[in-house]
Amino acid sequence: MAVYLDFDNIVISRYDQVNGRNSFQRDKSKPPDDGADRLKRATVDVGAIIDFASSFGTLVLTRAYADWSADVNADYRGQLVGRAVDLVQLFPAAAYGKNGADIRLAVDAVEDMFRLPDLTHVVIVAGDSDYIALAQRCKRLGRYVVGIGMAGSSSRTLAAACDEFVIYDTLPSVPAYPTAADDDSPPKRRSKRAEQVDPEPSDPQAEATGLLTRAIRIGMDKDDTDWLHNSMVKAQMKRMDPSFSEKSLGFRSFSDFLRSRSDLVELDESSTTRLVRLR
């Protein structure tokens, strides 16, 4: 499967969703005093999008289209590169601030479908009605089309043109967007490069627990069921993080790994088909 992100589209749409209609253009022309906080509250969780997309199959292409010289996009570069996303540079046009992402993205998607006959699914991350024709063409070429967009700014016609359309806020692991009153956390300490944030020491066990939780939630949301096959959960975890290995965490089997998280998950081992669900 292939994922195409109109990154300017989703960043601006999320900003307007959190901070008010048309606030992005207004704040861009006249930056407010709390501009950094407003951007932080509207941060897009790229990982949640890619994790959800991986539930449909193996990702062979993931591209994000934006003007990466813009500060609002540059902050995401490290996160995107860390998820093996190809960054496609676009240059703003003079008229209306259009960046031409829809044209470039559509051309690339159609070319990829002819170049890669094994491509079965296409995920379009954008809510713009400009992508209706692309969704229709993908379907005519026999691909399953999934759209992901922001609430309040996604075209209903685009949603109808897709085989499946999902609102970003409903993705597993995406929290409700914060308001100014809710956000009292201290800002992260940044380095000289805008896209870099000083990393905190990682805990492999905690990361694996978070990965497990996200994988089960995605499976529950996708199959509309509480109980999932162990093998399906592990396969989803591997698609989300190919480096995952229960053995590297000190467990002989995936079932042992699940048993160690008994406070989080419940196992059904009453038959040869082992099932798991969140408590």
Instruction: Check: CB of residue 23 under 8 Å from CB of residue 15.
Output: yes
**Residue 276 banded pLDDT, cuts 50, 70, 90:** very high
Closest CA to 68 of 78, 59, 58: 78
159 and 225 fall within a common domain: no
E strands within 92-154? Answer: 121-125, 144-149
- Averaged over 146-158, what is the pLDDT? 89
What's the total number of domains in the chain? Answer: 2
10 and 138 fall within a common domain: yes
For residue 37 the two structure tokens come to 């906080």
Residue 243 has pLDDT above 80, yes or no: no
| pLDDT score at 231 | 92
Q: What is the pLDDT of residues 252-261, one digit of tens each?
A: 999 999 999 9
- Mean pLDDT (the chain) is 85
Of the three residues 145, 170, 195, the one that is the final residue of a domain is 170
| Helix residue ranges, H only, 125-203 | 132-140, 156-161
**Residue 152 banded pLDDT, cuts 50, 70, 90:** confident
* Coil vs helix vs strand at 186: coil
* Coil vs helix vs strand at 276: strand
157 and 250 fall within a common domain: no
Closest CA to 47 of 92, 95, 5, 91: 5
Residue 248 has pLDDT above 50, yes or no: yes
For residue 224 the two structure tokens come to 């509309």
**CB within 8 Å of 46: residues ≥ 6 apart:** 5, 76, 79, 80, 83, 85
| pLDDT score at 188 | 42
| pLDDT score at 94 | 43
Of the three residues 170, 197, 230, the one that is the final residue of a domain is 170
First to last CA, the chain: 32
Residue 89 has pLDDT above 70, yes or no: yes
d(CA 102, CA 129): 10
What percentage of residues in the chain have a pLDDT greater than 90?
Answer: 50
| pLDDT score at 203 | 86
| pLDDT score at 185 | 45
Q: What is the pLDDT of residues 193-225, one digit of tens each?
A: 333 344 455 788 999 999 999 999 999 888 788
Instruction: Check: CB of residue 245 under 8 Å from CB of residue 259.
Output: no
Is 152 domain-assigned?
yes
Is 157 domain-assigned?
yes
3-state SS string over 217-252?
Answer: HHHHHHHCCCCEEHHHHHHHHHHHCCCCCCHHHCCC
> What's 79's domain CATH number?
3.40.50.1010
Is 177 domain-assigned?
no
d(CA 95, CA 99): 9
- Domain range for residue 6? 2-170
Q: What is the pLDDT of residues 19-65, one digit of tens each?
A: 998 899 899 888 888 888 999 999 999 999 999 999 898 999 999 99
- Averaged over 231-251, what is the pLDDT? 86
**Residue 187 banded pLDDT, cuts 50, 70, 90:** very low
166 and 233 fall within a common domain: no
